[in-house]
Structure 1
Amino acid sequence: MSGSNTETPGDDISLREEALQPTTIGSYTVAIARALDASGVDSKRIFLAMGIPLDVSTDPMTRLPAATMTRLYRACVDVTNNPYFGLTVARHIHLTHLHALGYSLAASGTLMDFCRRLERYFRLVSQVAKVSLTQTDEHVLMRFDHLLELSSETEDAFFGFLIRTMRLIYKQEFKPVRVELRRPMPHEGATPYETLFRAPVLFGQASSLLVFDRADLMQALSGSCPELAQVNDNIIISYLARLDKSDVITGVTQKIIEFLPDGDCTRDKVASALFMSPTTLQLKLSQRGTSFQQLLDDTRKELACSYLSQASRPVTEITFLLGFSDTSNFTRAFKRWTGLSPTDFRQQG
Structure 2
Amino acid sequence: MKEVTHNSSIIGAYAIAIAEALENLGVVAEDIFHTCGLSLPTTTDPLVRIDNQTISRLYAAAVQASGDPGFGLRVGETMRPANLHAMGFALLSSISIRDFAQRLSAFYRVVSQNADIRCEERGNQFLLISTSTKGADTCFETQDAYIALVTNLLRTISGNRFQLRTLELTRPQPEGQAQRYRDYFQCDIGFDRPEIIMVMDVAQVDKRLPGANEELALGHDRTVMEYLQRIDRSDIVNRVRSLISEELPVRALNKDRVAEQLHISTRNLQLKLAARDTSFQEILDSTRRAQALAMMSRSSVSVTEAAFSLGYTEVSNFTRAFKRWTNQSPRQYRQGLGLER
The reply to whether TM is greater than 0.5 is yes
Structure 2 unmatched runs, 5+: 240-259, 270-279, 281-341
1:121 aligns with 2:102: no
Are the aligned partners of 2:8 and 2:49 in contact in 1 as well (CA < 8 Å)? Answer: no
Are the aligned partners of 2:6 and 2:234 in contact in 1 as well (CA < 8 Å)? Answer: no
- C-alpha separation between the residues in 2 aligned to 1:250 and 1:232? 22
- C-alpha separation between the residues in 2 aligned to 1:172 and 1:20? 37
Are the aligned partners of 2:10 and 2:50 in contact in 1 as well (CA < 8 Å)? Answer: yes
Identity percentage over the alignment? 32
Aligned partner of 1:139 in structure 2 is 125
Other structure's SS at 2:78 match: coil
Aligned partner of 1:323 in structure 2 is none
Aligned partner of 2:208 in structure 1 is 220
What per-residue deviation string (whole Å, max 9, x for no partner) do you get for residues 90-116 of structure 1?
221001110010111011100100000
Aligned partner of 2:293 in structure 1 is none
- Alpha-carbon deviation of 1:55? 3.2
- C-alpha separation between the residues in 1 aligned to 2:187 and 2:261? 50
What per-residue deviation string (whole Å, max 9, x for no partner) do you get for residues 315-348 of structure 1?
xxxxxxxxxxxxxxxxxxxxxxxxxxxxxxxxxx
- C-alpha separation between the residues in 2 aligned to 1:250 and 1:202? 29
Q: 1:111 aligns with which of 79, 97, 103?
A: 97
Q: 1:178 aligns with which of 159, 163, 166?
A: 166
Q: 2:184 aligns with which of 196, 206, 219?
A: 196
Shift of the 195–281 alpha-carbon distance from structure 1 to 2, 3 Å rule, reads closer
- C-alpha separation between the residues in 2 aligned to 1:21 and 1:68? 12
- Alpha-carbon deviation of 1:189? 3.0
- Alpha-carbon deviation of 1:249? 11
- Alpha-carbon deviation of 1:217? 0.9
- Alpha-carbon deviation of 1:181? 0.7
Q: 1:92 aligns with which of 58, 75, 78?
A: 78
Number of aligned positions between the proteins: 246
Aligned partner of 1:66 in structure 2 is 52
The normalised TM-score by structure 1 is 0.66
- C-alpha separation between the residues in 2 aligned to 1:219 and 1:157? 26
Structure 1 unmatched runs, 5+: 1-14, 252-278, 289-349
- C-alpha separation between the residues in 1 aligned to 2:191 and 2:150? 18
- Alpha-carbon deviation of 1:74? 1.0
Shift of the 81–225 alpha-carbon distance from structure 1 to 2, 3 Å rule, reads same
Other structure's SS at 1:282 match: coil
Shift of the 246–21 alpha-carbon distance from structure 1 to 2, 3 Å rule, reads closer
1:244 aligns with 2:232: yes
Letter in 2 for 1:220: R
Are the aligned partners of 1:26 and 1:57 in contact in 2 as well (CA < 8 Å)? Answer: yes
- C-alpha separation between the residues in 2 aligned to 1:89 and 1:248? 31
Q: How does 1:44-55 map to 2 (within 5 A)?
A: 44-55=30-41
Are the aligned partners of 1:56 and 1:62 in contact in 2 as well (CA < 8 Å)? Answer: no
- C-alpha separation between the residues in 2 aligned to 1:20 and 1:224? 35
Aligned partner of 1:260 in structure 2 is none
When Rg is computed on C-alpha atoms for both structures, the one with the higher figure is 1
- C-alpha separation between the residues in 2 aligned to 1:69 and 1:281? 32
Shift of the 69–166 alpha-carbon distance from structure 1 to 2, 3 Å rule, reads same
1:29 aligns with 2:15: yes
Other structure's SS at 1:201 match: strand
Letter in 1 for 2:36: M
Structure 1 vs Structure 2 CA RMSD: 2.7
- Alpha-carbon deviation of 1:191? 1.2
- C-alpha separation between the residues in 1 aligned to 2:6 and 2:154? 33
- C-alpha separation between the residues in 2 aligned to 1:249 and 1:21? 12
Shift of the 185–284 alpha-carbon distance from structure 1 to 2, 3 Å rule, reads farther
- C-alpha separation between the residues in 1 aligned to 2:61 and 2:237? 38
- Alpha-carbon deviation of 1:81? 1.3
- Alpha-carbon deviation of 1:126? 0.4
Q: 2:28 aligns with which of 16, 29, 42?
A: 42
- Alpha-carbon deviation of 1:56? 3.0
Are the aligned partners of 2:165 and 2:200 in contact in 1 as well (CA < 8 Å)? Answer: yes
Aligned partner of 2:193 in structure 1 is 205
Shift of the 186–220 alpha-carbon distance from structure 1 to 2, 3 Å rule, reads same
- C-alpha separation between the residues in 2 aligned to 1:228 and 1:59? 20
Segments ≥4 residues shifted beyond 4 Å: 247-251
